[in-house]
């Protein structure tokens, strides 16, 4: 909820232009504010008249303040409390199927393919405020990292901890990864169901044919966007593990089965993208973000609280005080 202070009729503030005019007129006419009386000796009046004379400008000050408060009251100050309620009328369920095979540590993207992907995917997830998202990972086999959920913190935490799992079989089981993602979405009641499948290789493991998995996605009305990640030519990629469990690198050819990825996307009504560098990868996720829009209904509630009364009360109170002083303490002044 946000609160703003506004004036309903601010045009009345032009009346304040009379304040400096009145002040100028007062100083010009101040010598005529007291009645004059000629006496041979005014010693007996000096103390009383001197104090009263010094306090006489108080009447003018009270009237100026009262006038200012009255103008503010006429301008109708009010506070506005605004609250917004977002209601998702038609949501989208999204499964991210991510290749975590050793080749995803190739350094043709900075600092490597997997870390570059994690950064871009995190921004994508944060931007899908009203959608549910799940995470599937695969190499030689696949599994669900997080089910489809609206709790983005869970998905983001799982994404940040993604790394090559030595317990998984080596290879790239695209069909397995896609089938697992389909299994996560097939029972969803969302308006739209989408899989974003990313790989940097070709299907060389697993027991499910990617074409069969794509037909399964089509049967359940699930759209698949495929992304091939990696530059053209050779890339500095892991080729073995050293004695400490780290990767040994060498320049090896980048082999992405683009024909297969294009076919999967075409079969399910999605699109294929190629990310050759960090900038291209970021642009791809932005493009998918634009293509898959969620219908959102935004309800705004506005409540007004009038604040003019206090200014009106102050104005009339000051005018009354000024009148009372004029009729009593300053009765001798013109």
Helix (H) or strand (E) holding 26: helix 18-29
* Spatial separation of the C-alpha atoms in residues 115 and 109, rounded to whole Å: 9
Q: Which class for 297: exposed (0-12), middle (13-18), buried (19 or more C-beta within 10 A)?
A: exposed
Residue ranges of the domains in the chain?
2-81+306-327, 92-293
Closest CA to 194 of 295, 263, 282, 96: 96
**d(Cα 305, Cα 127) in Å, to the nearest integer?**
35
What is the per-residue pLDDT for 300? Answer: 72
* Check whether domain 92-293 has CATH 3.40.50.410, yes or no: yes
Structure tokens at 45: 């009046």
Strands 132-138 and 142-149: antiparallel
Q: Which pLDDT score is estimated for 32?
A: 56
Give the 3-state secondary structure of 106-127.
CCCCCCCHHHHHHHHHHHHHHH
What is residue 321's three-state secondary structure?
helix
pLDDT of residue 47: 47
How confident is the prediction along the chain (334 residues), in pLDDT tens digits per residue?
677 888 989 999 999 998 888 888 888 876 554 455 555 555 554 545 567 777 778 888 999 999 999 999 999 999 888 776 655 556 799 999 999 999 999 999 999 999 999 999 999 999 998 899 999 999 999 999 999 999 999 999 999 999 988 777 889 999 999 999 999 999 998 889 999 999 999 999 999 999 999 999 999 999 999 999 999 899 999 998 888 878 999 999 999 999 999 999 999 999 999 999 999 999 999 999 998 887 656 567 788 889 889 999 999 999 999 889 888 887 766 5
Given a contact cutoff of 8 angstroms between Cβ atoms, the answer to whether 305 and 59 are in contact is no
From the list 292, 286, 265, 289, the residue with the least C-alpha distance to 174 is 265
* Per-residue pLDDT at 227: 98
Rounded Cα gap, residues 178 and 220, in angstroms: 13
For residue 105, what are its two tokens? Answer: 């540590």
Residue 224 token pair: 């698949």
Using DSSP, state whether 227 is helix, strand or coil: strand
Judge whether 305 and 78 are in contact, CB under 8 Å: yes
The secondary element (H helix, E strand) that includes residue 234 is strand 234-241
Task: List Cα–Cα distances, 290 to 116, 156, 252, in angstroms.
Answer: 20, 21, 35
In this prediction, residue 296 carries a pLDDT of: 55
């Amino acid at each position: 909820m946000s609160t703003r202070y506004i004036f309903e009729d601010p045009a009345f503030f032009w009346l304040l232009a009379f304040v400096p005019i009145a002040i100028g007129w007062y100083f010009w006419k101040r010598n005529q504010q007291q009645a004059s009386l000629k006496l041979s000796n005014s010693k007996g009046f000096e103390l009383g008249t001197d104090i009263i004379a010094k306090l006489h400008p108080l009447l003018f000050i009270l009237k100026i303040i009262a006038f200012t408060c009255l103008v503010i009251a006429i301008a109708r100050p009010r506070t506005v409390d605004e609250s917004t309620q977002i209601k998702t009328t038609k949501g989208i369920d999204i499964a991210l199927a991510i290749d975590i095979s050793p080749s995803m540590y190739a350094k043709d993207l900075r600092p490597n393919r997997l870390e570059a992907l994690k950064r871009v995917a995190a921004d994508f997830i944060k931007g899908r405020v009203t959608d549910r998202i799940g995470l599937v990972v695969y190499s030689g086999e696949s599994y669900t990292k997080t089910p489809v959920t609206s709790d983005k913190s869970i998905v983001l935490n799982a994404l940040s901890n993604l790394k090559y799992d030595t317990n998984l079989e080596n290879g790239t089981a695209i069909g397995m990864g896609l089938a697992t993602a389909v299994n996560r979405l097939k029972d969803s009641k969302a308006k739209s169901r989408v899989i974003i499948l990313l790989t940097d290789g070709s299907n060389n493991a697993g027991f499910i044919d990617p074409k069969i998995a794509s037909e399964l996605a089509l049967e359940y009305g699930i759209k698949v966007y495929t992304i091939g990640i990696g530059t053209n030519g050779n890339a500095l990629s892991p080729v073995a593990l050293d004695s400490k469990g780290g990767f040994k690198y060498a320049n090896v050819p980048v082999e992405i089965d683009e024909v297969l990825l294009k076919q999967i996307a075409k079969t399910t009504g999605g699109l294929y993208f190629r990310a050759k560098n960090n900038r291209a990868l970021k642009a791809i996720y932005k493009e998918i973000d634009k293509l898959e829009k969620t219908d959102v209904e935004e309800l705004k509630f506005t409540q007004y609280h009038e604040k003019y009364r206090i200014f009106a009360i102050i104005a009339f109170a000051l005018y009354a005080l000024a009148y009372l002083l004029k009729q009593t303490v300053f009765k001798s002044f013109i």
